[in-house]
Every structure is written in C-alpha cells, then in structure tokens.
Amino acid sequence: MRSACSALLLLCACGTLSNEDIAFIEAIPQKDELHVQVPQGDTSQPACAIASADIWVSAKTTGNAINAGVDGILGLVDAIRAAPPTTRDTDSRTWGPFPDQNHPGVEVRVTMERELDANRVPWRWIYTIAARRPPADFLPLVEGEFFGAQAKDGSGRVTLHFENSWTLQINQPTDPHFPARIYYDLTSNPRTISLDLTSGQGFGLVGFDYGYAGYTDGHGRFDYAIPQSNGCLLEVTAWFTPQGAGKLTYRALCPLNLVYGDVTQCFDVSACVTYVNDPFAFTAQCNGVKPCILGNPASCPNLP
C-alpha cells in the first residue's frame, strides 16, 4: 500500500484540479484528523512517591503506533490530493491504472464515487485503492466510505486489506494477514476514532478494538490493551486532562480464562501514580497485601 504513493506522485504534473475534483478529494480524511492525541505531560521528574505510571505511559506509545499506521495509509491520499484524475464522470473520479514503481509488474488504480440525496446534495462517498498483477483482476488494498460534505466534519470507515497486499507480494514483513478497520466520527464533540484489530496483531500492537475520544477542550478517553510477560493482557480505559494527568481502570485477562478487575490508578502530569485501588495487589508497591489502597483519592482529577 505504501508503495502506491510513489506511483501516484508521478501524476502530479499532468494537469489541474477542478472544484469538483476537490470536492471528491475532500471526502477523504487527512492524517491528523484520524490521530490519537494522548498528552504525555512532563515525565522528567526523577522519582515518584508511589510508582511510575507505566500503564499510562504505554498509552502514548500505543497512540503513536496507531498514528504511524494511519499516516502510512493516508500518505497515499496526500499524493492523490496533488494529482488530477485520469478520468472524470459526473459522480465519479478515477486515477490510473498506472505502474507501481516500487513493485515491477504491479498496477495501481484509485476510484471514487459519490451518491446524492433527493435534493442532489452529496451525502455518501466511496473510494477504493486497488492493485493487480496483470492479467489478474484488481484487489482492493484500501476501501473507504464517508458520510458528509467534507472529511473534517463527517464520519466514515476505512478498511485496510492487508490480506491482499500479501497476495500481491507488496506487503511489509510486519503487516497483519487480515483486514484492519478504522471507524471515525468527526461530526460532534468528542470526535471518536476506533481501530479494530480484534482479528490479530498489527502495527506492532496486540489484537484489540482500540478506541479514542477527543474533546475540544483537550481532555479525552483512550481504550487500549497491553500484553504482559506473564501471559496476561491488560485492557485499559484511561481518562486524561489536556495537561496529561488522569485516571485509568484496567482488568487483567490471564491464561486459563482467569479475569481480574477492576484496578484503578490516578496519575499526575509527571506520569507518577498518585492513587491506587488494587484488590488483587498486582501493583508491586502493595507487597502482596490484598486489598491494596495507596495514596490519596483526592489526588485524582475530576474526570468520569
């Protein structure tokens, strides 16, 4: 999928974009509109009174991995934004087919269609980035659907067909072997983004349905998962302030179908734990004493 970007760039000098072309392109979200924005705060504090908020620090790492995956995919769209379509119809546009310069023998094609309502106003946009090795048929690499007039304040989905990139032998070694799906809604406050990796691992992340909600004042919620060396998986829901303080709750899914939860932590802008409510004494500072309560609950920010 990433290689198609270089091929698209070859089209950039072939003409100009009409207003209608721009309307099609604006239906595809830009990279920053689908970013998970997790503030890290100031982590330079040399020592924490209770413990370092390692689970919260993992939220930033996880968010960065999701953003990198989104950027790699929507980099294709950046090239389309600068290139006029190869063919135009009233309610459709096509780029290509053209050769993939990084993979000899592979052709790439981009198609977009729009649907109008009873008043002839666009309400649904559908786009596909596909590739093939002739004489075989095209296989979709990216499929998207968008509802609204422009991506910055609409909603939609993007399906990434990694199974087809493997079939075409244009995959990256760490790509998953299954479709990954992104759902987004930018129509209200909060804006929400989810990445469905429940079929397996991808982007260096464990299989999970990752979810993000970002509010206009900078606070938000992030649902993510962290694998543990003992075979357990921590499923985390974290709320955070614009400055990077917050509180989180997690449960542990462990081998033999054992489930432990919920454990609550609060943390400050220095990523230090300020409060722990741990019925299972998973927290090392509990020293195995159950139930375990450390710190002051008043230190927790006023979040849901």
| Number of independent structural domains in the chain | 1
Predicted TM-score of the model (pTM): 0.86
pLDDT score at 193? 95
Digitized pLDDT (tens) for each residue of the chain, 304 residues in all = 554 444 444 444 445 788 888 888 888 888 888 899 999 777 677 789 999 999 999 999 999 999 987 886 676 666 667 778 999 999 999 988 988 877 899 998 989 999 999 988 888 999 998 999 999 999 999 899 999 866 667 899 999 898 998 999 988 777 788 999 999 999 989 999 999 999 999 888 999 999 999 999 999 999 999 999 999 999 999 999 999 999 999 999 999 989 998 999 999 999 999 999 999 999 999 999 999 999 999 999 999 8
pLDDT score at 151? 62
Q: Is 45 contained in some domain? A: yes
Question: Under 8 Å CB-to-CB from 66, ≥6 apart: which residues?
Answer: 36, 195, 203, 205, 210, 212
With 0-12 / 13-18 / 19 or more C-beta atoms within 10 angstroms meaning exposed / middle / buried, residue 10 is middle
Q: Is 192 contained in some domain? A: yes
pLDDT score at 77? 67
268, 276, 302, 240: which is closest to 60 by C-alpha?
240
Instruction: Decide if 75 contacts 83 (C-beta within 8 A).
Output: no
Q: Is 140 contained in some domain? A: yes
**Which tokens belong to 166?**
């493997």
pLDDT score at 75? 66
pLDDT score at 148? 82
pLDDT score at 76? 62
Q: Is 304 contained in some domain? A: no
| d(C-alpha 94, C-alpha 129), whole Å | 10
Domain span holding position 180: 3-299
